[in-house]
A and B are shown apart, each in its own frame.
Chain A
Amino acid sequence: MLEAILVLAGLAIVFGLLLGFAAIRFKVEGDPVVDQIDAILPQTQCGQCTYAGCRPYAEAIANGEADINQCPPGGEQVILELADLLDREPKPLSEEHGVEKETKTVVVIDEEVCIGCTLCIQACPVDAILGAAKQMHTVIAEECTGCDLCIPPCPVDCIHIVPVEETLETWTWPYPADESQDESDQEPVEGANHA
């Protein structure tokens, strides 16, 4: 019994040491800039920046192919953080990629009108729409990022944008907009925490 435990523990220790050594020996230098940019982006995967998602956009920024002002869901906040991270001049949101929303919105499906075509399900980048063919669909409000990508494919126009009402649970102090811009030089992380 004791032998069995010792033999297996010994084996596990030997392999553990071997793997620990290999982890150092074969350490992969990832591209930390891409990871950092990706962490700032809002992860809506909406594609409004013309890239396939937030990660490809982050890679494009890191390669210098894309500008930092192409993310409408992130808006000014993200542009400021990106400018700070990459040491570039902040610039206003590029108009051809969309406008920043004043308030957070989600979409709702008018279930009376929905014909169950599943087109909006295919368009949704975050799988927030629930439904099956010829069954009415519905939007999971907590998952919806408000990217509105599901609206153009809908053949019967049954998807509507509604603002998210502020409740006691979701209310927060408004961000001091001008201050954060000044502070961002010294404390870049500050804004990221609030976001």
Chain B
Amino acid sequence: MKEYALILVSTILVNNFVLVKFLGLCPFMGVSRKLETATGMALATTFVLTLSSVLSYLVSSYLLVPFGLEYLDIIAFILVIAGVVQLTEMIVHKVSPLLYQVLGIFLPLITTNCAVLGVALLNIQKENTFIESFLYGFGASIGFSLVLILFAAMRERINVADVPAPFKGAAIALITAGLMSMAFMGFSGLVQG
């Protein structure tokens, strides 16, 4: 039980995928303009990341390893991720057309969110079990959601703040992201791994 909690703390705070491992930066910068879209994106990514983490674990341990096809893991995982993203897109389109319109191109782009493939590959590398890979994927997506929503909230504030002209827009956003990243580095040492 303790190690499960440690996995969650580790992926959410200590080894945060965005701010410490620097994976998934594209949606982090791209959809953090508004809190509402960021929340939607966070939910969609949470769903995709968790599901694809579990599915890619299953594919890996029941298909690839028994046939000795570990060298195909990247292409197989990409297949899994693409399928899950497509499914998510259909569900979002059905359930919330507004969110579908707001997320726009970023929804199919979850496919190319490197955090998703990163989690699947790290699961194999760390030799995680089924529950561990579920928690690893879930923790990673919660960590992603956490920083995405925090960052979006900050950017909304920064929009109305008196920023010096040369730093307006993307520049101050990148500086903010850097400061956030440094703050998250402060968690290192909390958990090993």
State whether B90 touches A3 (Cβ < 8 A).
Answer: no
Chain A's closest residue to B92 (CB) is: A26
Q: A8-B79, A11-B79, A15-B79 are in contact. Are A26 and B93 (CB under 8 A)?
A: yes
Among B68, B72, B87, contact of A8 (Cβ-Cβ < 8 Å):
B72
State whether A22 touches B87 (Cβ < 8 A).
Answer: yes
Q: A18-B87, A22-B87, A26-B91 are in contact. Are A11 and B69 (CB under 8 A)?
A: no
- Given the complex, which residues of A lie within 8 Å of B67, measured CB to CB? 3-4, 7
Among A8, A10, A12, A22, contact of B90 (Cβ-Cβ < 8 Å):
A22
Within 8 A of A (CB), among B73-117: 75-76, 79-80, 82-83, 86-87, 90-91, 93-94, 97
Among A7, A12, A18, A22, contact of B63 (Cβ-Cβ < 8 Å):
A7
In the assembly, what is the distance between CA of A140 and CA of B147, in Å?
45
A1-26: CB near B (< 8 Å → 1, else 0) gives: 00110011011100100110011001
Closest Cβ–Cβ distance, residue B89 to chain A (whole Å): 9
Closest Cβ–Cβ distance, residue A19 to chain B (whole Å): 5
- Given the complex, which residues of B lie within 8 Å of A4, measured CB to CB? 67, 69, 72
State whether B83 touches A18 (Cβ < 8 A).
Answer: yes
- Given the complex, which residues of B lie within 8 Å of A19, measured CB to CB? 83, 86-87, 90
State whether A15 touches B97 (Cβ < 8 A).
Answer: no
Q: Does B180 contact A (CB under 8 A)?
A: no
Q: Does A28 contact B (CB under 8 A)?
A: yes
Q: Tell me what chain B mostly uses at the interface: helix, strand, loop, or mixed.
A: helix
In the assembly, what is the distance between CA of A23 and CA of B79, in Å?
18
Q: Does B59 contact A (CB under 8 A)?
A: yes
Closest Cβ–Cβ distance, residue A138 to chain B (whole Å): 29
State whether B94 touches A28 (Cβ < 8 A).
Answer: yes
- Given the complex, which residues of A lie within 8 Å of B91, measured CB to CB? 22, 26
State whether B90 touches A26 (Cβ < 8 A).
Answer: yes
- Given the complex, which residues of A lie within 8 Å of B82, measured CB to CB? 15
Chain B residues proximal to chain A, CB less than 8 Å: 59, 63-64, 67-69, 72, 75-76, 79-80, 82-83, 86-87, 90-91, 93-94, 97
Closest 5 CB pairs of A and B: A15-B83, A26-B94, A26-B90, A3-B67, A22-B90
Chain A residues proximal to chain B, CB less than 8 Å: 3-4, 7-8, 10-12, 15, 18-19, 22-23, 26-28
